[in-house]
Structure 1
Amino acid sequence: MIDKPWLTIVAIASALKLLFIPAYRSTDFEVHRNWLAITHSLPIDRWYYESTSEWTLDYPPFFAWFEWLLSIVASRVDPAMLVVSNLNYASNACIVFQRVSVIVADFVLAFATRTYCSTLGVASSRRAFTLAVLILLNAGLLIVDHIHFQYNGLLLGLLLLSIARLKQERVLEGAFWFAVLLNMKHIFLYVAPAYILYLFRSYCFQDTQRQTGWLPRFSTFLPSRLLRLGAIVTAVFAVSFGPFIAMGQLPQVMSRLFPLKRGLTHAYWAPNVWALYNFADKTTSMLTRSASSRPSTTGGLVGDVEHVVLPSVPPIAALLLTTVSILPGLVASWRRPGNFRLFLRGLVACAYGSFLFGWHVHEKAILLVIVPLSLLAVENVADARNYLVLSITGIVSLFPLLIRAEETPIKVALCLAYYLFSSGTLPSLFRDEAKVDEGREKFAAINAPSTTLLTTWSRLYLCGLALLECFCTLAYPFTSLADKFPFLPLMAISVYCAGGVCLTWALFYRETFAMYARSDSKTE
């Protein structure tokens, strides 16, 4: 992609983000202000012990150092924001500084997007432009980072840069950036299995592309490559955790990073399998008039809760289900080493499975599925169709994060604009593809110029999603149920969106198996 379109997209995105500076701010704004104060005002040996605020530091060390770097600039803008005891401090200077820091950090995502788009080739300029818009103007990312407040653009930029380096066959650099990412935010452990398998199978064995068995020929194993790979990853983790290990604080740091007592689901259910499970339990308990003395899953609390009728789910069950859910995607990548598209599918499969079955998943984690899937969506019609439904479902599932009525027109306008762009541009990428793809008559029919990506079921589903959002936003607050069941709209949106995410997951795997079969037939 040439520089001018890319710069135009970045400029439009940045200008739009600046407009959101005075918008609603969630508690995450105070979380990051507090982390600025902790890393600036306290010695390193107190970072992971400080608990003046309930929003304690619970990200890996590299993100703590990132906050420390920001605090150096913040000290010149408004030193009061760096006082640990100044809880919920939000002066105008503090607000502008933190908002702008997210916008500046997003340039990592902009650079990574340009890097990945350059791998698509000069002939794919339309694909590159479409992909750049899908990522840099992603409505979900705008809502979460620039209204609600977080730094997901920076983190997803590191992920995308790592993926781009792997596609460019700069394997060690790709591994380096992913190791850095893990030490910025540990949620990316979700996709680590895809990286581990791909790097080990493709980089540490020679000429394994022609292998058809489950195991590589160990005569082709290259221990020197494994040592280089291990040295880079170990060095990154040593720099990150080394100081805390030296101070004997590793157990304390790990307890902050992995607080398993937070419960199966977040206070606002992420639209996954456990939202459906909670709904089934709640519905059954109401029908059978069962009761429990322990906190309810719809109580709006974070922590251990129990199901009333259905068995309560322990962390090990969530781990086992997550593992089972990602295995098919990993197997495909294992049996086709060096196949970058299957690696990407394995990565998306890991993100999907972890989101659907993981323990205490936050609703914002849907971005970890949507952004990598966009890389596939611009190159495969089935993935484009899937992406269109998943992205809109994911964006709507994030709407309840913005609780003020003032932001309703903004989030609706962002979602609608994103839908119109993606539904208008993605089909055009595939209209001519069938002409050069021999033996795929069905594909040609699907991609006739007059058709859209939406099938009948997807149109009906998205219409239902729009109607549900209208009811929850415009009608429900004025009904007699609003005071009695304040969490009903949250539950309805979570459950309905969970159905859409589960269905797109099944369709994603159907295309993965089809792609694997096509790859298998070509190999043989």
Structure 2
Amino acid sequence: MHKQGMKAWVVPLAIATSAWVKWSIGLGDYSGHATPPMFGDYEAQRHWMELAIHLAPQQWYTYDLQYWGLDYPPLTAYISWLCGKVGSLIDPSWFAFEESRGIETYNSKLFMRSTVVALDMLVYVPALYAFTRIWHKSRSLRTQHASLLILLFQPALLLVDFGHFQYNSVMLGLTLLALNSFAVGRDLLGAVCFVLSLAFKQMALYYAPVIGSYLLGKCIFLGPVQGTRLFIRLAVVTLSSFTLLFAPFLPPIAPLSTFFAAISRIFPFARGLFEDKVANFWCFTNVTLVKWKQLFLGKESRLIKLSAALTVAGFLPAVFGLLWGSFKTRLRTHPQVVSREGEARAISLAAPARTPSPTLPLLLYALLTTSMSFFLFSFQVHEKTILLPLLPLTLLLSGATVGDEVYSLGILGNVVGVFSMWPLLKRDGLGVQYIATLLLWCRLVGYNPFCLRLDSFVGLLSTAVNAAMILLHPLELIVTPPNRYPDLFPVLNVLVSTPVFGFIWLWSIKRGIEVGWALGGLPGSGTDRGFKDHDDGNPTEELLNLPTAGPVKSMRREHGARAVSLGHASGLTLASTSGYRDPRRRAVDRLRGSSAGIDE
């Protein structure tokens, strides 16, 4: 279409085609179809709409918890209320109180499917488009369009939301809007968007350590005055947003017990370490090494603490990298700058309020690290939560060069992510959709899963994993598991998928270290870019404190260029529209102006 002069049609046609694919997936079965008495996730979402429009908010988290009691944060309930109200105007029988349980009429299913597509189009799709325009602004229009196609047709989300039936695209879209806001320096707006994401699904907590570290690091970067001002504003906006969202469950509107009832439903530690076979550390080692539930029988609190400790240890490198990078690149004041008139003045290296943090290139790698850490090590993980690590991984893939490491691992992670959900999709009767969406996406990204790749470790890993996945599917069709091992194939799925997720987690930490080194130097390396005091009266060169030779310089050039290609350069390009490019370069210009007697 680019060659035929139809560039303006690429985006609307891509979005329209993705909507058609989503509708097509929705023609199949869904979670709990014709399976009383609980009817699966589809009925859970419909039932919450029923509760929301018939009960007061104070009863949402306490009414008949045995039949799909609400266990998501309030924003889910508010949106359920809105959908239920609209649906009741069309046909009140769809949400008749207690009488509509298990309803599966054609029109009611059509309405429910429509709500998923509508919310996806209102939140997630605009967030994806904004991402390609903001984070890839320095790239060609062709690259931006290719990136949008990769993101729109990501198979895991399509299968879960439009097949299995959920609204994960709303949570992910709100998180992505937060990332877009950070990239253009609108940190307060980004904080509100992330609070909304948390208030829609508590799984967004997988991102919280990194989002909090990025914002705290931004405060450190800006220095004591502007940083403290931003910190106070962020605290006020975040607390106000949470308070407003939880207001119906807090005094004086409701007793405090109502709030605690909601919290106990949102964080269900009583369910145990895991339920189904999930491709994470606990299920993998439970099969290969130790029976965790037996080892900690009657000591569930210790198991929770162990899970929390491993999770924190897993994402700590990402948090430390963001904070250290902000500290090393922080803006400081030069103590002695001599003007033409001989007057000693202190020059503050101040940055505009909408300056993206220098650690922005680290953000997606850090999000991948922390979300994968939660998926691998945290308590009560579901197969569907692989969607959270897949978001930053796919965002990184969207800006990668064909054949490089990010490209190869991004595709492998997405393919294995879909494969890891196969037991869930099989129960839902989504086998055709599973194969079709996976092959469609592989075609779009130019990936042939049947091709041998022997030129690198990642290539060898991809070849071995693809062969295992391709082999397991026909075996599952023709081989009946022995009575002693009824979960044979789900267990084999875990054994294939978990090592890949573990490798991607370790790789994200490695990449975070490389990009962090490129931006600000490693701890104790002496290569930080912060300002240092010098006595020669000419701070222009020392201000940037860049190495001039040696391996550090080449490493920075290699990884720094890759880092800025996705987000950092885009952020600086956007900021330049307001007369700003780089705070340190601007500070150099100010210092030179001071030496020339120019009063800024």
SS in 2 for 1:183: helix
Q: Counterparts of 2:120 and 2:113 in 1: how far apart (Å)?
A: 11
User: Is structure 2 residue 513 aligned with structure 1 residue 505?
Assistant: no
Q: Counterparts of 2:373 and 2:20 in 1: how far apart (Å)?
A: 35
Alignment correspondent of 1:156: 172
Match of 2:206 among 190, 205, 215: 190
Q: Counterparts of 1:15 and 1:192 in 2: how far apart (Å)?
A: 33
Please give the TM-score of this superposition, normalised by the length of structure 1: 0.83
Q: CA deviation at 1:63?
A: 1.0
Whichever residue aligns with residue 264 of structure 1, its letter is L
User: Residue deviations 1:232-269, cap 9 Å, x none?
Assistant: 111111111122012121111111111101111122x2
Q: Counterparts of 1:470 and 1:522 in 2: how far apart (Å)?
A: 55
Q: Counterparts of 1:489 and 1:24 in 2: how far apart (Å)?
A: 22
Superposition pairs of residues 167-186 of structure 1, within 5 angstroms: 167-186=183-202
User: Is structure 2 residue 321 aligned with structure 1 residue 306?
Assistant: no
Q: Counterparts of 2:156 and 2:394 in 1: how far apart (Å)?
A: 13
* 8 A contact 1:273–1:356 mirrored in 2: yes
Of structures 1 and 2, the one scoring higher in RCO (CA 8 A, sep 6+) is: 2
User: Residue deviations 1:15-46, cap 9 Å, x none?
Assistant: 11112333111111000011011001112221
Q: Counterparts of 1:3 and 1:356 in 2: how far apart (Å)?
A: 42
Q: CA deviation at 1:404?
A: 5.2
Name the structure with the higher helix share: 1
Q: Counterparts of 1:116 and 1:356 in 2: how far apart (Å)?
A: 27
Q: Counterparts of 2:30 and 2:507 in 1: how far apart (Å)?
A: 36
User: Is structure 2 residue 342 aligned with structure 1 residue 333?
Assistant: no
Match of 1:232 among 229, 237, 262: 237
Specify the structure having the higher radius of gyration (Cα).
2
Superposition pairs of residues 111-510 of structure 1, within 5 angstroms: 111-119=126-134, 120-121=136-137, 123-202=139-218, 204-207=219-222, 219-220=224-225, 222-246=227-251, 247-248=254-255, 249-267=258-276, 269-281=277-289, 305-307=293-295, 314-337=303-326, 338=357, 339-380=359-400, 381-403=404-426, 407-424=430-447, 455-472=459-476, 474-476=477-479, 479=480, 481-510=481-510
Q: CA deviation at 1:178?
A: 0.4
Whichever residue aligns with residue 359 of structure 1, its letter is F
User: Is structure 2 residue 29 aligned with structure 1 residue 20?
Assistant: no
Shift of the 405–25 alpha-carbon distance from structure 1 to 2, 3 Å rule, reads closer
SS in 1 for 2:246: helix
SS in 2 for 1:370: helix
* 8 A contact 1:34–1:53 mirrored in 2: no
* 8 A contact 1:383–1:508 mirrored in 2: no
* 8 A contact 1:206–1:220 mirrored in 2: no
* 8 A contact 2:213–2:319 mirrored in 1: yes
Alignment correspondent of 1:87: 101
Q: CA deviation at 1:226?
A: 1.7
Q: Counterparts of 1:342 and 1:453 in 2: how far apart (Å)?
A: 24
* 8 A contact 1:272–1:355 mirrored in 2: yes
Across the aligned residues of Structure 1 and Structure 2, the Cα RMSD in angstroms comes to 2.5
Structure 1 stretches of at least 4 aligned residues deviating more than 4 Å after TM superposition = 451-454
User: Residue deviations 1:123-177, cap 9 Å, x none?
Assistant: 3323322321222111111110111000011111111111011111111111110
Q: Counterparts of 2:231 and 2:322 in 1: how far apart (Å)?
A: 19
* 8 A contact 2:30–2:429 mirrored in 1: no
Task: Extract unaligned runs of 5+ from structure 2.
Answer: 32-39, 327-356, 449-454, 522-526, 530-545, 547-600
Alignment correspondent of 2:74: 61
Alignment correspondent of 2:119: 105
Whichever residue aligns with residue 439 of structure 2, its letter is L
User: Residue deviations 1:193-219, cap 9 Å, x none?
Assistant: 1111111121x23546xxxxxxxxxx4
SS in 2 for 1:352: helix
User: Residue deviations 1:282-331, cap 9 Å, x none?
Assistant: xx78xxxxxxxxxxx8xxxxxxx43599x986111110100001011111
Q: CA deviation at 1:410?
A: 2.2
Q: CA deviation at 1:191?
A: 0.9
Alignment correspondent of 1:9: 14
Moved more, 185-194 or 128-137: 128-137
Shift of the 332–406 alpha-carbon distance from structure 1 to 2, 3 Å rule, reads closer
Whichever residue aligns with residue 244 of structure 1, its letter is F
Task: Extract unaligned runs of 5+ from structure 1.
Answer: 209-218, 286-296, 298-304, 426-450
Q: Counterparts of 2:205 and 2:425 in 1: how far apart (Å)?
A: 27
Whichever residue aligns with residue 389 of structure 1, its letter is L
Q: Counterparts of 2:86 and 2:457 in 1: how far apart (Å)?
A: 47
User: Residue deviations 1:424-452, cap 9 Å, x none?
Assistant: 49xxxxxxxxxxxxxxxxxxxxxxxxx99
Q: Counterparts of 2:458 and 2:54 in 1: how far apart (Å)?
A: 53
Q: Counterparts of 2:390 and 2:213 in 1: how far apart (Å)?
A: 22
* 8 A contact 1:423–1:453 mirrored in 2: no
Q: Counterparts of 2:285 and 2:226 in 1: how far apart (Å)?
A: 45
Shift of the 84–53 alpha-carbon distance from structure 1 to 2, 3 Å rule, reads farther
Alignment correspondent of 1:47: 60
Q: Counterparts of 1:78 and 1:307 in 2: how far apart (Å)?
A: 52
SS in 2 for 1:336: helix
* 8 A contact 2:30–2:42 mirrored in 1: yes
Alignment correspondent of 2:590: none
How many pairs were matched up? Answer: 463
User: Residue deviations 1:363-392, cap 9 Å, x none?
Assistant: 111111111122222334322221111110
* 8 A contact 2:25–2:433 mirrored in 1: no
Q: Counterparts of 1:404 and 1:360 in 2: how far apart (Å)?
A: 20
* 8 A contact 2:116–2:167 mirrored in 1: yes
Q: Counterparts of 2:47 and 2:173 in 1: how far apart (Å)?
A: 24
Alignment correspondent of 1:72: 85
Q: CA deviation at 1:72?
A: 1.0
Whichever residue aligns with residue 41 of structure 1, its letter is H
Q: CA deviation at 1:454?
A: 5.7
Shift of the 490–177 alpha-carbon distance from structure 1 to 2, 3 Å rule, reads same
User: Residue deviations 1:84-105, cap 9 Å, x none?
Assistant: 4232121111111111100111
Q: Counterparts of 2:378 and 2:268 in 1: how far apart (Å)?
A: 14
Whichever residue aligns with residue 111 of structure 1, its letter is P
SS in 2 for 1:455: helix
Q: Counterparts of 2:148 and 2:206 in 1: how far apart (Å)?
A: 24
* 8 A contact 1:24–1:402 mirrored in 2: no
Q: Counterparts of 1:489 and 1:522 in 2: how far apart (Å)?
A: 51
* 8 A contact 1:23–1:147 mirrored in 2: yes
SS in 2 for 1:87: coil
